Amino acid sequence: MLLILRYVLDTFWDERVWLPPNTTWEDIAPGPDKAVVYNDYRHLLYPLPLALVLLVLRRVLEVYWFAPFGRSLGIKNTRPKKAPINPKLEVAYQTAPKIKHKQFFLNKDEICALAKQLDMTERQVERWWRLRRSQDKPSTLVKFCENMWRCTFYLYNFSYGLFILWDKDWLWDIDQCYIDYPHQGVTMDVWWYYMISAAFYWALTLSQFTDVRRKDFWQMFVHHIATIALLSFSWVCNLHRIGTLVLLLHDCADIFLDGAKAAKYANYQRFCDMVFAVFTVLWIVSRLGVYPFYIIKSTMIRAPMLAPMFPAYYIFNSLLCLLLCLHLVWTWLILQVAYKAISAGRMEGDIRSSSSEISDSSHQSNHSTPKHVNNKKET
C-alpha cells in the first residue's frame, strides 16, 4: 500500500510537469547552502492553524467591536416573528430538502397535501411555512458584523500587501516575475503575506457553511478553492511574485464592496451609494481591465518569452482564467444592481444576496394571492 501511495505521489509531483526543463525539486529546495531563500512546500500547512486563529479573531471582533458599533448606529438584533408551535409542520419542515426552506417555498401541490393532512387551509400552511422560514434568517446586525469583518481584513491585507510590495521591482515591472525564474528568493514579508492570505481563504471556505448563505454560494466556494489552489501551487513552484500581484489586485475592490453593504445595513444610504459607485468603477477597472489585460496577458504572452515553460504553468493559467470567468458572472450582477440603483436613485439591497433573503417581496409583487410564493433577489 505504501509503495502504491509513493508511486502515486511521485507521478503527481513529476518534475517534468511542475518545474521548468532541467530543473529538479532539489534545485529549488530550501537550504543554508543555497544562494536564495526558496519556498518550502511544508509551510503550506501553516495557513490551516492560522485560519483557526482568524476565525477566533473574527469572533472576538464581532462580539466586542463590530456588534457594539452596529448597535451604536441603530442596527437592531431583532429576530422575525416566530411561527406558532405545530409539531407536524415542524417535522415536515425539518425533513424537507434544505432547498425547500432555505431558498424556496413549497410548491402548490406540496402545500395542498400538507393542508389536507393537517386539516388546515392552504393559506395557513403557507403562512406558517413563511414564518418558520423567517426564523432561520440572520438579523441585520449579524450581516453587518460579517461584512465589517471582511471589509476590515481586506483593508488590512491590501494595505500590508501594498506596503511590502512597494519596493519590489516586480510591482512596477511585471517582467521581473519571470526573469531568473525559478531561482527567485522569498523574503519574510512576502512569506507572511502569502500565509495570511491563504489562511483567510481557508477561513472563508470553512465559515461559508455557517455564514449568511448567499445565492452565489457555489460560485464563491469555487472561487475560494481556486484561489487556495493558485496560492498553493504557485508557492510550491516558486511563482510567488505573480501570486502577490493577483492577491493585491483582488483585495482592493473588495474593501468597497463590503463597506457598501455594511453602510446599507446601517441605513447610511447616501454613503452606501457613494461607496458602491467607487466599488463599481474600481471593480471594472481592476477585474475586467488590469486583471485580464495586464496580469493574464503577461502570463500568457510575456512569460513564455522570458522563462522556460512547463505543463503546470498552463494549469496556473487555467485557474487564472477560471477566476476571470467568475469575475464576468459577478460583473453582470453588479451592473444589474447599478442599473437598478440609477433607475431608483439609490442602491437597493446587496450585490451578493443571501439565499435566505431571496424570497418574499418578489412573491408579493408577482402574485396577488398567497398560494404562489416566489423568490426575491436581494442585490
Q: What tens digit of pLDDT does each residue of 50-96 get?
A: 999 999 999 999 999 999 999 999 998 766 566 667 776 767 776 66
For the segment 262-278, the average pLDDT, to the nearest whole number, is: 92
pTM above the 0.75 mark? yes
Return the C-alpha cell found at 106: 413549497
Helix axes 311-344, 269-285, angle to 10 degrees: 150
**Buried-exposed string 7-45: b where 16+ CB fall within 10 A, e elsewhere:** eeeeeeeebeebbbeebeeeebeeeeeeeeebbebebbe
Residue 97 pLDDT class (50, 70, 90 cuts): low
Residue 354 pLDDT class (50, 70, 90 cuts): very low
By the 8 A CB rule, do 290 and 269 touch? no
For the segment 213-224, the average pLDDT, to the nearest whole number, is: 79
Q: Name the average pLDDT for the chain.
A: 83
Q: Is a pLDDT exceeding 60 seen at residue 129?
A: yes
By the 8 A CB rule, do 129 and 139 touch? no
Q: Which of 4-8, 133-137, 149-153 has the lowest mean pLDDT?
A: 133-137
Cis ω for the linkage preceding 68 (within 30 of 0): no
